[in-house]
A and B are shown apart, each in its own frame.
Chain A
Amino acid sequence: DAKTTQPTSMDCAEGRAANLPCNHSTISGNEYVYWYRQIHSQGPQYIIHGLKNNETNEMASLIITEDRKSSTLILPHATLRDTAVYYCIAPRYNKLIFGAGTRLAVHP
């Protein structure tokens, strides 16, 4: 897996956009960037993934820089239920390596 680096924690006000950054400077050309999140006492939940182009789904948007060395997960209107640990992963050979992730706290 390419090594990924994320901030340890972030805060966000309810209703505002949460922008979670991830650095993956060693990513290779065919490695996707995946984002998962884990709400307390639950299993990880898939959010979104991308290779080169920006992606959007019903949960979030993923912005990948042109050089692919970093990406940003955007939760456009954060709610209290988005409080979780968010993991940025660049897996290889179907192997997910979950690091410490970013602990996002959404507050009223």
Chain B
Amino acid sequence: DVKVTQSSRYLVKRTGEKVFLECVQDMDHENMFWYRQDPGLGLRLIYFSYDVKMKEKGDIPEGYSVSREKKERFSLILESASTNQTSMYLCASSPVVRPLDTDTQYFGPGTRLTVL
């Protein structure tokens, strides 16, 4: 079974702090994704990566950056956390090599981040 793990289930940070959310997948998938989920807004794509050291902006990249130094790990960074970044953050991975194709995405359990 594909396993996608996220470093924390719950996280509380203060405004202005730098926040790191880590995601690891164990199936050698090329593609990895970061989403946030808010009530009434569904899941929105923040960033994705289709290879090591490659990244592409999603629909809402402002205020976020990402890092993919190893194939299995994709990190989401909030450079200076703000209260409007309080949300559920979901990481996913998929096995497709070609970035324009679609394949099944496997999600982690999510990190519920609260910024005070």
Contact = CB atoms under 8 A, between A and B. Distances in A.
Interface of A: 32, 34, 41-46, 49, 91-100
Contact of B90 (A32, A43, A49, A94): A43
Contacts of A99: 42
B106 to A, nearest CB: 7
Interface of B: 4, 31, 37, 42-43, 45, 48, 90, 92, 94, 96, 99-110
B51 to A, nearest CB: 13
B110 A43 contact: yes
Contact of A43 (B31, B45, B108): B108
Nearest to A99: B42
A49 B104 contact: yes
B93 to A, nearest CB: 11
Contacts of A91: 102
A96 B105 contact: yes
A91 B33 CA distance: 14
Given A94-B94, A97-B42, A98-B43, A45 B107 contact: yes
A92 B42 contact: no
Contact of A94 (B100, B108, B110): B100
B107 A44 contact: yes
25 contacts: A34-B102, A34-B104, A41-B110, A43-B4, A43-B90, A43-B107, A43-B108, A43-B109, A43-B110, A44-B43, A44-B90, A46-B104, A46-B105, A91-B102, A92-B102, A93-B99, A94-B31, A94-B48, A94-B101, A94-B102, A95-B45, A95-B102, A97-B42, A98-B37, A98-B42
A104 B65 CA distance: 36
Contacts of A49: 104
A32 B109 CA distance: 25
A95 B43 CA distance: 11
Contacts of A95: 45, 102
Contacts of A34: 102, 104
